[in-house]
Amino acid sequence: MKAAQLIEKIPNINTFKKFGKVNRVVGLMIESQGPESSIGDVCKIHVNSPKNGHQIILAEVVGFNNEYVVLMPYTSVREISIGCLVEGTGKPLEIKVGPELIGKVLDSMGNPFDGSSLPKGLVTVPTDKEPPNPLKRPPINKQLEVGVKAIDGMLTVGSGQRVGIFAGSGVGKSTLLGMIARNTQADLNVIALIGERGREVREFIERDLGEEGLSRSIVVAATGDQPALMRIKGAFTATAIAEYFRDRGLNVMLMMDSVTRVAMAQREIGLATGEPPAQKGYTPSVFSILPKLLERTGTNLKGTITAFYTVLVDGDDMNEPIADTVRGILDGHIVLDRTLANKGQYPAINVLKSVSRLMNHISSPEHVKAAERLRELYYTYSKSEDLINIGAYKRGTSKEIDDAIHYEPLITSFLKQGYKEKVTLEHTINELVALSNGGGK
């Protein structure tokens, strides 16, 4: 920065520091008398510990109780005591971003997870921003190759589209995200692992993502043992990083696993601050934070963020509150079916329950027609499967069912894909069209 620019900033510098002091600590929450601050501001709590000496613990203003400021720390409240000084920064959480972060694993504060120093030359950006103006969002009109046949062929995704991946536990969400990260034609991956087990973070990076995927990715991890605020900030930090690269004209792929754990973290904070529980214990703030977070992705005048959000559905119930809310916000949903996984079909995508709301607008008429034909045959077979399996259906009774019986193994074979197998969009469409035109007969 030039000297003239620095001189211009001098009149705007606040030379006063605002302090308060901790009044009480209740559960996850800290009440302090002062400092003057706003919701979302970051404060520094000065702790003097006999063991560790002077420490600074960062906390965020999450509410007010009469004349007291209600804070939630980003780390443990263990060493905070009555009378600790609370210093107000007057600013929300900010992180440093730049191309030098590609290939690194970060925490929710944007710092390297391995404890190393941040590279030089990074730019400071806020983690909480407003979504793009709806009238300044260019329409989505270009296909994005993700390298998964079931998605490229039957549920085509556009560059800038936001899609949910809905599944119960252990059905293959992380594996599917790893396939997409390695195979996609996007310029950069930003991957947010929110609320994961500590064991799974390294496993995902080494096994699912691999060196090839990590070399073009930035990973933000907030494990399940971290405070609720850190889990929420992990989602906002990853989104802010994706926005930074989108604003520089890149086509970014954002993958978040999982948005359900973001909602659970917000529920913890809401209940701690006194919000009443609403649907299944989720507080009203959960249903206000989700659209605010999810709407930040998509297109703007400079670039695109194509987003995949995983949704962990309790008991495979696709209509539970978070799944229902997220499905209404996004531009499509992919359902992973436990029954298909039990049959050994991977990825276990149920194309009959999944939909891409933009496929008809971004795919060629021939592609759309072929996908609809295969979907129709697959539906006919699934509807008559019980009769077929017990031998109650007699061949020749219905030409449509006869065709469905013939095509079912061919369609299943088309939808299957090896974990390390990469298939181009062009090859997928050609195979799909040939199959719909009788290529299997």
Q: CATH number for the domain including 370?
A: 1.20.1270.330
* All residues at 6 or more sequence positions from 333 whose CB lies less than 8 Å from its CB, including other chains: 163, 164, 165, 166, 327, 354, 355
Which residues, given as ranges, of the chain have pLDDT below 50?
441
Half-sphere exposure of 374 (CA within 13 A, CB side): 30
CATH assignment of the domain containing 47: 2.40.10.170
Q: What region does 23 belong to: left with phi over 0, alpha with psi -120 to 50, or beta?
A: alpha
How far is Cα 370 from Cα 350, in angstroms, rounded to an integer?
Answer: 17
Q: Is position 153 within any domain?
A: yes
Residues 258 and 316 in one domain: yes
Q: Which of 361, 382, 399 is the last residue of a domain?
A: 361
Residues 106 and 174 in one domain: yes
Please provide residue 315's backbone torsions phi and psi, each rounded to the nearest 5 degrees.
Answer: 60, 30
According to the model, what pLDDT value does residue 80 have? 83
Are 116 and 44 in contact by the 8 Å Cβ rule? The answer is no
According to the model, what pLDDT value does residue 67 have? 86
Q: Which of 361, 378, 395 is the last residue of a domain?
A: 361
pTM: 0.89
Q: Which of 69, 92, 115 is the last residue of a domain?
A: 92
Residue type, 335: V
Residues 57 and 193 in one domain: no
Residues 165 and 313 in one domain: yes
Q: How many domains does the chain have?
A: 3
Q: Is position 147 within any domain?
A: yes
Residues 217 and 70 in one domain: no
* All residues at 6 or more sequence positions from 346 whose CB lies less than 8 Å from its CB, including other chains: 172, 175, 416, 417, 419
According to the model, what pLDDT value does residue 9 have? 66
Q: Is position 190 within any domain?
A: yes
Residues 193 and 332 in one domain: yes
Residues 201 and 282 in one domain: yes
| Distance set, CA 255 to CA 157, 247, 323, 342, 360 (Å) | 14, 18, 17, 25, 24
Are 289 and 266 in contact by the 8 Å Cβ rule? The answer is yes
Which range marks the domain in which residue 141 is found?
95-361
Residues 199 and 281 in one domain: yes
According to the model, what pLDDT value does residue 28 have? 79
According to the model, what pLDDT value does residue 79 have? 78
Residues 204 and 314 in one domain: yes
Q: Is position 174 within any domain?
A: yes
Residues 332 and 286 in one domain: yes
According to the model, what pLDDT value does residue 315 have? 66
Q: Is position 8 within any domain?
A: no
Q: Is the dihedral of CA 318, 320, 322, 325 positive or negative?
A: positive
Q: Is position 58 within any domain?
A: yes
Q: Is position 412 within any domain?
A: yes
Residue type, 360: N
CATH assignment of the domain containing 353: 3.40.50.12240
Residues 181 and 321 in one domain: yes
Nearest Cα to Cα of residue 285 among 298, 300, 272: 272
How far is Cα 84 from Cα 49, in angstroms, rounded to an integer?
Answer: 11
Residues 239 and 333 in one domain: yes
How far is Cα 215 from Cα 218, in angstroms, rounded to an integer?
Answer: 8
How far is Cα 412 from Cα 408, in angstroms, rounded to an integer?
Answer: 6
Q: Give the pLDDT confidence of 333-385 residue by residue, as tens digits.
A: 999 998 888 888 889 999 999 999 999 999 999 999 999 999 999 999 888 87
Q: Is position 10 within any domain?
A: no
Residue 228 is classified by DSSP as: H
